[in-house]
Amino acid sequence: MPELPEVETVRRGLAPVMEGQVIIRAEVNRPDLRWPLPDRMAERLTGQRILALRRRSKYILADLSSGETLLIHLGMSGRMLISGAMVGEFHHDHPAPQKHDHVILTMSGGARITFNDARRFGAMDLMPTVTAEGHPLLASIGPEPFGNDFSEPYLAARLKGRNTPIKSALLDQRIVAGLGNIYVCETLFRAGISPLRLAGKVKKPAALVPIIRQVLSEAIDAGGSSLRDYRQADGELGYFQKHFQVYGREGQPCETPGCGATIKRTVQSGRSSFWCPACQR
């Protein structure tokens, strides 16, 4: 499932062709994705100007001139693809309709935004902008990792005394927004912390804050990580997977000079943790 860097990359790709533009036509081709789509969704979107395109954790939020906000979650295989506009240095013509094109937005500037989702694990909803943060999918999410609220004292306080593994704690969206399995594995490797160590036993938890930000920043700069279905808004792959130091590298040698150990995989709460037993304690 796309994590913060992938969703932020998609948001940045969509912003130039959506912010400030009017949705001159909205097409909704099925009644549901993971959950039922909002009532009269096409009618409520058509004619509305997109005032801002934001991200909250792994969700894209489009604030509309109607006073509503469109919430978008990509799920496992969802893609927001742009056609009929310049994206970077290339112009992408409108493609032929595809089987899994579930929602199509035609923008006043000539761009077409297509939400394609083969597995239909994605989601969309409409809610009042003024109460958007109270939406059931957003209400319990913790601070954004790049925000001021995600500080070193904050993280130290949230981890203090916790008897859950540090890997599980960092995956808890109530503690920090947007982190998923890939970037927690990479963060813990850089921090030299075993994913098995209890959160309350991490000696310097505050040191994780700048490492989390560094890993996420590098991933965003690389366009995210493409492992299966994820694509950027222009259809291109992300490239951060080329820089993985532990994730997906079970049995391969650790890249730390002089280490000599091999990367291990451990299953924690049904998720694979990749780590170096020599570098991470």
Catalytic positions:
2-3, 58, 271
Helix 4-18, helix 208-221: angle, nearest 10:
50
Q: Any residues with CB less than 8 A from the CB of 190 and at least 6 apart, and which?
A: 211, 214, 215, 245
- CA 119-121-123 angle, to 5 degrees, is 130
Alpha-carbon distance 275 to 273, whole Å?
Answer: 6
Residues 240 and 186: beta-carbon distance below 8 Å: no
Alpha-carbon distance 280 to 89, whole Å?
Answer: 42
Which structure tokens are listed for 55? 């991200």
How would DSSP label each residue in 21-56?
Answer: -BEEEEEE-SSBSSSBPPTTHHHHHTT-BEEEEEEE
Alpha-carbon distance 81 to 78, whole Å?
Answer: 10
Which structure tokens are listed for 241? 């997977």
